[in-house]
Structure 1
Amino acid sequence: MSRVRSLPAPIDLHTHSRVSDGTETPAELMAAAAEAGLGTVALTDHDTTAGWAEAAAAVPATGVALVPGMELSTRVDWSSVHMLAYLIDPEAPGLLAETQRIREARLHRAEEMVASIARDYDIGWEDVVAQTEPGATVGRPHIADALVARGLARTRSDAFAGILHWRAGYYQPHYAPSPLLGVQLVRAAGGVPVLAHPATRSRADIALSSMIGDLVDAGLFGLEIDHRENTSEGRERLLALSKRYGLALTGSSDYHGSGKPNRLGENTTDPAVLEALIESATGSAPVLP
């Protein structure tokens, strides 16, 4: 019999708060999860665990269990690969140093992008700061919100499809470790790594298929298969990889509040998968109601 207490379903293992690029505070996110009928939610802000404490404090009032996590930035060549890191030790020195480096690179990239955009549009860095919570991981979504606030885009999605699209000429990459180093850092921090939405027709998706064996050997736990951005063909590829390598399959919303159309609970994870994930972790533990 498992020593892990089953967490309440439905289970959504990928959400964001204002600590990164969501539009709600961690406490507001937990309340939204309760309103959506979720039993368990993972907070996975980009490259930071700064929202954990506030989300955990909201567990008793909302009755929603919390799986502390993070979405770690990694990169294959020039393509981003996102890695969900669950139940890590937030003070693990290796991962802590790497996420600090990533956040600094994100900030520098954002400043350079805004300076470039400002040569053609009426926007300044102060507009981005106005859209960012103190201490938040600054990224392109905050630039998008600034563009919306200045009337240069209708919505965040419109900004990403227009001015912030790489074809517009303003996009710049930022530093991120390789997926292999990402898996190694997450496991060294006692956490459990899952590749986020890894079947979206990007060049990185194809590259990942060739390196998946090395990632599994390093400790990759699973693949996020039920996600609105994964293609039907990509899902078939993920199923095949799961069967070949014994990888777990998760489902999540990738909720960002009003920043994306994704809705809480639109995709969920099987409780048995979450139970196995918790069994695999040594860095931290879920917060139960």
Structure 2
Amino acid sequence: MRIDLHTHSTASDGTDTPAELVRHAAEAGLDVVALTDHDTTRGHAAALAALPEGLTLVTGAEISCALDGVSLHMLAYLFDPAEPELLRERELLRDDRVPRARAMVGKLQELGVPLTWDRVAEIAGDGSVGRPHIATALVELGVVPTVSDAFTADWIADGGRAHVTKHELDPFTLVRLVKAAGGVAVFAHPGAAKRGRTVSDEAIAGLAAAGLDGIEVDHMDHDGPTRARLSALAADLGLLTTGSSDYHGSRKDVALGAYTTDPEIYGEITRRATGAFPVPGAGGIRA
């Protein structure tokens, strides 16, 4: 059983539509895929409508947080999307994305980059605009060779020359909100040091005590020693460990199913969730 619990569509910063994503997941031989767009659940309905037979969809979102000035992301699975308190916070996060991105474009222009807001908005389309859309525009302009190369101190990494902070939740508050909405909370790529500063093991222990369910261990941004350290930490804290591709379509060089989650861990996630349930495909529409 092949399970990928972290993917993105055009509802945020992926390049596959939700319908294309679930079709590609089935073609990649996945049995289960989670759609976890940034701060939004807008892609879920289209993904469910197109869900191929034999593929199960886990609904979720990757939600922005910050702790002591360090940005981090929380994967929230199988929560009730209509729960009002969590919905209100997701809307605040989503609505802050446009002014933040506009401000980053302005900083890049001050650095001499001939980037326009109109082009960034065009790349984002109907999705929740984010840094990967800006990074894509920088690649188009020849400023950087790849999207990943835009996420450096020279450009738009946390603390970089063109970085602008955004509204971000306290992760302890978010864990409480996700659990209150019947969901399961997993800390996304906690050891991805090349993206910027990471939180300490002590902070992860504090989140575990506050109800965090797990941490994402097998991820493209974690090297072997980091995975070993996180696995040991999870065992000490009684946390679940997941593996996921963090697929963004053509925006990142990683394939669906490149990293996967153990079926027993997936089973425990579904047992803990009460806000929503995995949906098995019934054929879907082709798009």
Give TM-score, length-normalised by structure 2.
0.91
Q: Secondary structure at the match of 1:96?
A: helix
Specify the alignment match of 1:12 in structure 2.
4
Determine whether 1:267 maps to 2:259.
yes
In percent, how many aligned pairs have the same letter? 47
- The change in CA–CA distance for 1:232 and 1:125 in structure 2 (over 3 A counts) is same
Specify the alignment match of 1:91 in structure 2.
82
User: Contact 1:165–1:171 (CA<8 Å) still a contact in 2?
Assistant: yes
Determine whether 1:137 maps to 2:140.
no
User: Contact 1:30–1:62 (CA<8 Å) still a contact in 2?
Assistant: no
Specify the alignment match of 1:115 in structure 2.
106
Encode CA deviations 1:55-74: one digit per residue, 9 max, x unaligned.
11111x35311000110111
- The change in CA–CA distance for 1:246 and 1:144 in structure 2 (over 3 A counts) is same
Specify the alignment match of 1:284 in structure 2.
276
Encode CA deviations 1:129-160: one digit per residue, 9 max, x unaligned.
110122x2111111112223344443322333
Specify the alignment match of 1:203 in structure 2.
197
Deviation at 1:168, TM superposition (A): 5.3
- 147-156 vs 226-235, greater mean Cα deviation: 147-156
Deviation at 1:167, TM superposition (A): 6.9
Following the alignment from structure 1 to structure 2, what is the Cα–Cα distance between the partners of residues 23 and 197? Answer: 21
Structure-to-structure mapping, 1:226-237, within 5 angstroms: 226-237=218-229
Structure-to-structure mapping, 1:138-217, within 5 angstroms: 138-161=129-152, 163-165=155-157, 169-201=161-193, 202-206=196-200, 209-217=201-209
Following the alignment from structure 1 to structure 2, what is the Cα–Cα distance between the partners of residues 167 and 217? Answer: 29
Determine whether 1:47 maps to 2:32.
no
Give TM-score, length-normalised by structure 1.
0.90
Q: Runs of 5+ in structure 2 lacking a partner?
A: 282-287
Following the alignment from structure 2 to structure 1, what is the Cα–Cα distance between the partners of residues 128 and 45? Answer: 16
Deviation at 1:256, TM superposition (A): 0.5
Q: What letter is aligned with 1:128?
A: V
Q: What letter is aligned with 1:233?
A: P
Specify the alignment match of 1:6 in structure 2.
none
1:77 to 68, 82, 87: 68
Specify the alignment match of 1:4 in structure 2.
none
Q: What letter is aligned with 2:115?
A: I
1:25 to 17, 30, 41: 17
Following the alignment from structure 1 to structure 2, what is the Cα–Cα distance between the partners of residues 204 and 168? Answer: 15
Q: What letter is aligned with 2:192?
A: T
- 161-170 vs 184-193, greater mean Cα deviation: 161-170
Following the alignment from structure 1 to structure 2, what is the Cα–Cα distance between the partners of residues 278 and 105? Answer: 31
Q: Secondary structure at the match of 2:199?
A: helix
User: Contact 2:74–2:187 (CA<8 Å) still a contact in 1?
Assistant: yes
Q: Runs of 5+ in structure 1 lacking a partner?
A: 1-8
User: Contact 1:225–1:235 (CA<8 Å) still a contact in 2?
Assistant: yes
User: Contact 2:70–2:199 (CA<8 Å) still a contact in 1?
Assistant: no
Q: What letter is aligned with 2:254?
A: N
- The change in CA–CA distance for 1:180 and 1:114 in structure 2 (over 3 A counts) is same
Which structure has greater helix proportion?
1
User: Contact 1:76–1:204 (CA<8 Å) still a contact in 2?
Assistant: no
- The change in CA–CA distance for 1:260 and 1:188 in structure 2 (over 3 A counts) is same
Q: What letter is aligned with 2:31?
A: G
Deviation at 1:94, TM superposition (A): 1.1
Q: What letter is aligned with 2:104?
A: M
